[in-house]
């Protein structure tokens, strides 16, 4: 009987501890400051993915055929005067130089447009600091200068457009047996890019924030998921 009483006493003591400590822990958690909670919650490191998107409209342009008629007239005069040699390579080179030089003066918009969505992403580490899901990350992870974003969208996407167009032009040159040097290619590329910069619009800049969570518990399958987040408060980005 004494043994049973001792066992019952121990079980009662354990039961009472189980009832007391959760209440004490909950009380402590409510009074913890974010620094203390972050120290305890070290496994709560996550990735913060920010994606900026904007709507880009490209206005199609073409070159007036009179450009090539005018160039042909000028090049003919140069040959007659002996200013340039009358061989295929020289003629091809000079004509393309003039196309690059005067392209902007003969370009016109066709009225056709192409709408695309452009985006830029940034990623950084974040730290969960409250049990209900607030987390902290560096300010530059979630905020970027709006002017920079517009410049990035314009330059990166217009470069791609220019690369495609000049690449097709280069393929046509090579099929004709003409291999341009880098200086001529750069002239054509820059002229085309300048036209593109005058033929687009960017609107509706927006941001999306996602918390990337991973489950890497021992013995479990590794899984990753993303949860959308709201930006509640922001300080000054670097060097702030």
- What pTM value is reported for the model? 0.62
Residue 234 belongs to some domain of the structure? no
The pLDDT of residue 219: 59
85 with 175, same domain? Answer: yes
Structure tokens at 9: 């006493």
74 with 170, same domain? Answer: yes
92 with 14, same domain? Answer: no
Integer Cα distance of 208 and 49 in angstroms: 8
94 with 5, same domain? Answer: no
90 with 168, same domain? Answer: yes
The pLDDT of residue 23: 37
Residue 138 belongs to some domain of the structure? yes
Burial 5-17 (b: 16+ CB within 10 A, else e): eeeeeeeeeeeee
- Domain total in the chain: 2
Name the helix (H) or strand (E) containing 105: helix 88-106
Residue 236 belongs to some domain of the structure? no
106 with 4, same domain? Answer: no
212 with 119, same domain? Answer: yes
46 with 68, same domain? Answer: yes
108 with 220, same domain? Answer: yes
27 with 81, same domain? Answer: no
Q: Would residue 126 be called left, alpha or beta, if left means φ above 0 and alpha means ψ between -120 and 50 degrees?
A: beta
The pLDDT of residue 240: 57
Residue 239 belongs to some domain of the structure? no
Q: How do the pLDDT tens digits run along the chain, 240 residues long?
A: 443 334 334 433 433 333 333 333 334 445 556 566 545 555 567 889 999 999 989 888 888 888 888 888 898 889 889 998 888 888 888 888 988 899 889 888 888 998 989 898 888 888 888 877 888 998 888 888 888 888 888 888 888 888 888 888 888 888 878 888 999 899 988 988 888 888 888 899 899 999 887 655 555 555 667 788 999 998 887 775
Residue 69 belongs to some domain of the structure? yes
Integer Cα distance of 59 and 112 in angstroms: 6
214 with 167, same domain? Answer: yes
Residue 48 belongs to some domain of the structure? yes
In this structure, how many other beta carbons lie within 10 angstroms of the beta carbon of residue 162?
Answer: 20
The pLDDT of residue 25: 39
1 with 113, same domain? Answer: no
Strand order in the sheet with 107-128: 135-137, 107-128, 45-63, 200-215, 223-229
Domain span including residue 88: 33-229
């Amino acid at each position: 009987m004494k043994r049973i009483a001792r066992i019952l006493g121990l079980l009662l003591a354990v039961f009472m501890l189980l009832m007391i400590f959760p209440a004490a822990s909950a009380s402590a958690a409510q009074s913890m400051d974010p620094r203390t909670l972050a120290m305890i919650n070290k496994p709560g490191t996550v990735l913060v993915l920010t994606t900026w998107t904007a709507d880009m409209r490209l206005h199609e342009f073409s070159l007036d055929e009179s450009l090539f008629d005018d160039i042909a007239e000028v090049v003919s005069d140069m040959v007659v005067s002996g200013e340039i040699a009358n061989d295929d390579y020289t003629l091809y080179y000079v004509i393309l130089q003039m196309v690059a030089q005067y392209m902007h003066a003969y370009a016109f918009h066709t009225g056709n447009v192409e709408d695309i969505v452009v985006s830029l992403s940034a990623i950084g580490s974040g730290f969960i600091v409250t049990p209900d899901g607030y987390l902290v990350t560096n300010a530059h992870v979630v905020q970027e200068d709006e002017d920079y974003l517009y410049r990035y969208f314009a330059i990166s996407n217009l470069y791609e457009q220019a690369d495609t167009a000049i690449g097709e032009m280069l393929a046509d040159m090579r099929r004709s047996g003409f291999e341009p040097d880098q200086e001529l290619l750069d002239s054509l590329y820059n002229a085309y890019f300048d036209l593109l910069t005058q033929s687009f619009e960017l609107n509706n800049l927006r941001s999306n924030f996602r918390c990337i969570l991973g489950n890497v518990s021992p013995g479990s399958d590794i899984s990753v998921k993303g949860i959308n987040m709201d930006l509640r408060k922001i300080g000054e980005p670097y060097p702030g």
